[in-house]
Amino acid sequence: MTILDRMLFFSFIRAYCICLTSTLSLYIIVDMFTNLDDFGVKADGFTDILNNIAHYYGYRVIQYYDRLCEAIALLGAMFTISWMQRNNELLPVLSTGVSTHRVLRPILFGAAVALGIGIGIQELVIPRIAPMLMTDRDDPGGDKDVAVHGAFDSSGVHMEGSLANRKELVIKPFYSTLPESASTNMIHLSAASAKYIPPSSDPLSGGWLMTGTTQAEIENDARPEMLIPLFPGKYFLRTRDADFETMTRHPKWYVFTSTRKLYTLLNKPEAPRQGPVAVMFHTRISRFFTGMLLVVLGLSIILRDQTRHVFISAGLCLLMCGIYFSVVLFCKFLGDGDYLSPALSAWMPVLIFGPYTLVQYDSIHT
């Protein structure tokens, strides 16, 4: 890298950090003062309120960065070039014979590094802090009961419930439907409560301990092998993959998981081929390309007419950014609704804006 390359690269890093800090600060201030009362619901004093605020937004800023990584990279690149034009720094560089495409190289490299950091956070950090990202402002310790969404186990058992306690791993009430087999009919069980026992060396682990079951006793000939009777009205239901997290996770849980786990889920022979999960998987694959395409398109709009006022160019760039994200979200909506295939919905923005971006980038005056 030449001296000019290092100067432009660090100029981009500085502009990127300024945009990132400004947007994060604005988000925290607006959201905190809008929902300030929620942080004091279970706080004993002012210190606990500050701890709840720091705990909540300490994780939320990571999620916010993951969502707006592409837009912030565009803002950083846009401000770097705009300030060069405003301070008349670009014209002397071009007069020495250096092309505009060559000047943009360190800025594009910086944008690629920023997008790579965003992808790394998405794959390595977000899955680890997913439980904290799904907690409410008024429930920092996870004491509040959560809704149960139900789940199908790979053994064929269907389970439902009403409310669950995350600390005790208990669901009240608990309903299960055991599949029909050659020797048994379909069995419906209703328990007053069910506690999930994580897998361990204990034979009664890796399943649900049901108490207060309506069918107090079941004949051995009509009892499936995954159901173990303990006492009248008390059973242990062994499951393969329908654990407490599966029963209570957010409907959009796959947004917080890694791409490798999405791929594993889609390749399970017993798992249903969920359209939104497949769309999310292909969107992860195309994310870097759509992000770089956005940055290149924004810089091309600014530099195509270098005599245009810098604020007008910046406004056109932001307008294009809004249109770009609208198309991305619309394509995702079509994929989630099975109007487009998952792969096509993820790559459709690249197919739409790719040729136009190449034309705009090639038409930059050098």
Rounded CA separation 196/148 (Å): 13
Which residues on adjacent β-strands are paired with residue 160?
A: 175
User: Is 11 found in the same domain as 88?
Assistant: yes
pLDDT at 285: 93
For residue 238, the SS3 value is: strand
Task: Determine the residue type at 185.
Answer: N
Token duo for residue 208:
């649900």
Give the dihedral sign, CA 184/190/196/202: negative
**Number of compact structural domains in the chain:** 2
Q: Is residue 143 part of a domain?
A: no
Q: What is the DSSP string of 77-107?
A: HHHHHHHHHHTT-HHHHHHTT--HHHHHHHH
Q: Is residue 257 part of a domain?
A: no
Token duo for residue 83:
């300030």
Q: Is residue 27 part of a domain?
A: yes
Rounded CA separation 1/35 (Å): 48
Q: Is residue 141 part of a domain?
A: no
Q: Is residue 256 part of a domain?
A: no
pLDDT at 106: 92
C-alpha distances out from residue 305 to 234, 238, 362, Å = 76, 67, 13
User: Is 127 found in the same domain as 9?
Assistant: yes
User: Is 154 found in the same domain as 122?
Assistant: no
pTM of the predicted model as reported, rounded to 2 decimal places = 0.78
Give the dihedral sign, CA 355/359/361/362: positive
> Residue 228 in contact with residue 260, Cβ under 8 Å?
no
Q: Is residue 265 part of a domain?
A: no
pLDDT at 230: 85
Query: Percent of the chain, pLDDT > 70?
Result: 92
User: Is 155 found in the same domain as 124?
Assistant: no
User: Is 131 found in the same domain as 16?
Assistant: yes
Least confident of 8-17, 98-107, 118-127: 98-107
User: Is 128 found in the same domain as 11?
Assistant: yes
Domain end (from 230, 248, 266): 248
> Residue 333 in contact with residue 315, Cβ under 8 Å?
no
User: Is 163 found in the same domain as 124?
Assistant: no
Rounded CA separation 196/168 (Å): 9
**Residue pLDDT, tens place only, 78-122:** 888 888 877 777 778 777 778 888 888 999 999 999 999 999 999
Range(s) of the domain holding residue 89:
3-135+274-362
Rounded CA separation 113/108 (Å): 9
Q: Is residue 261 part of a domain?
A: no
70 or 314, higher pLDDT: 70
Q: Is residue 21 part of a domain?
A: yes
113 or 35, higher pLDDT: 113
Least confident of 32-36, 97-101, 136-140, 203-207: 136-140
**Strand ranges inside the chain, DSSP E:** 146-147, 151-152, 158-165, 170-178, 187-191, 193-197, 207-211, 227-231, 234-238
User: Is 188 found in the same domain as 73?
Assistant: no
